[in-house]
């Protein structure tokens, strides 16, 4: 009698766990979709109105929402949050949070500039996946999956704040950057605005993108 009761209780508990996991999965998908929709509206606002846009509360991306997007770091690069977070992750995951935020600012500054594409993903992929790409991680021939869960979670949180217009501009509108151990020829044509950790940032001299 007791054994039969225990078996029934175990079955009941397993059913509750299964149902809870299914509800959580559905909720995560819904939160991710809402976050992606908000990000799309925000990137359009930045592309048309500039990076000083103050979005309404209804468009602010939430922390749970942004973390629900691409939870495994393997999603296709087809939405603003994933493209921005992947850029932050691969360009600055070994740097400080301030440097990661500065990389996000570069993407947002380009999005707001008339000389660059009008979506985050197009900004990131500009120049193609082979050859003359703008962001080295995009054309290095390696897999683009994010492998460090903690670093990617940080990158997604930074992308959330960047799209919400909540980041401090430490790079004075910079549109370009490089690692300090590299000396690209184009650097002499621009104005250095800041160096954060190992990343050096530049803005245009005349405001016109090449």
Residue 48 lies in a domain: yes
Query: What number is the average pLDDT over the span 133-150?
Result: 86
Range of the domain at 96: 2-203
CA 201/CA 23 separation, integer angstroms: 45
Residue 109 lies in a domain: yes
Instruction: Look up residue 190 and give its two tokens.
Output: 């621009």
CA 124/CA 138 separation, integer angstroms: 8
CA 71/CA 152 separation, integer angstroms: 9
Measured CA to CA in angstroms, residue 170 lies from 56, 88, 103, 104, 173 at distances of 24, 15, 10, 11, 8
Residue 195 lies in a domain: yes
Query: What number is the average pLDDT over the span 118-131?
Result: 82
Domain count, the chain: 1
Other residues' Cβ atoms within 10 Å of the Cβ of residue 150: 8
Residue 81 lies in a domain: yes
Strand partners, 195: 200
Question: Per-residue pLDDT tens for 40-86?
Answer: 999 999 999 998 889 999 999 999 999 999 999 999 999 999 999 99
Residue 208 lies in a domain: no
Output 16 or 66, whichever has higher pLDDT: 66
- The pTM of this model reads 0.84
Residue 183 lies in a domain: yes
Question: Per-residue pLDDT tens for 147-189?
Answer: 999 999 999 999 999 999 999 999 999 999 999 988 887 778 8
Output 25 or 166, whichever has higher pLDDT: 166
* Residue-level pLDDT at 183: 81
Q: Where are the alpha helices (DSSP H) in 135-183?
A: 149-163
- Give percent above pLDDT 90 in the chain: 68
SS3 176: strand
Residue 161 lies in a domain: yes
CB distance 96 to 88 below 8 Å: no
Instruction: Look up residue 38 and give its two tokens.
Output: 């908000």
Q: Where are the alpha helices (DSSP H) in the chain?
A: 2-49, 63-68, 80-92, 97-112, 120-125, 149-163
Residue 210 lies in a domain: no
The sign one gets for the Cα dihedral 59, 62, 150, 173 is: positive
Mean pLDDT of the chain: 87
CB distance 28 to 68 below 8 Å: yes
Q: Residue count of the chain, please give it.
A: 210
Question: Per-residue pLDDT tens for 104-118?
Answer: 999 999 999 999 999
* Residue-level pLDDT at 206: 74
* Residue-level pLDDT at 199: 96
């Amino acid at each position: 009698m007791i054994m039969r009761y225990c078996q029934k209780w175990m079955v009941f508990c397993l059913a509750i766990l299964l149902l809870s996991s299914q509800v959580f999965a559905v909720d995560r998908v819904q939160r991710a979709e809402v976050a992606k929709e908000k990000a799309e509206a925000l990137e359009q606002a930045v592309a048309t109105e500039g990076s000083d846009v103050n979005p309404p509360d209804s468009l602010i991306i939430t922390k749970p929402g942004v973390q629900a997007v691409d939870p495994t770091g393997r999603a296709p690069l087809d939405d603003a949050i994933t493209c921005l977070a992947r850029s932050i992750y691969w360009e600055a995951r070994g740097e400080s949070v301030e440097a990661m935020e500065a990389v996000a600012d570069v993407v947002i500054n380009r999005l707001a500039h008339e000389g660059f594409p009008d979506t985050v993903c197009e900004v990131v992929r500009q120049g193609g996946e082979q050859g003359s790409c703008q962001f080295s991680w995009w054309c290095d021939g390696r897999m683009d999956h994010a492998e460090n869960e903690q670093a990617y979670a940080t990158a997604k949180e930074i992308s959330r704040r960047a799209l919400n217009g909540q980041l401090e501009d430490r790079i004075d509108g910079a549109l370009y950057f490089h690692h300090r151990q590299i000396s690209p020829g184009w650097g002499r044509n621009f104005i250095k605005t800041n160096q954060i950790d190992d990343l050096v940032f530049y803005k245009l001299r005349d405001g016109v993108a090449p």
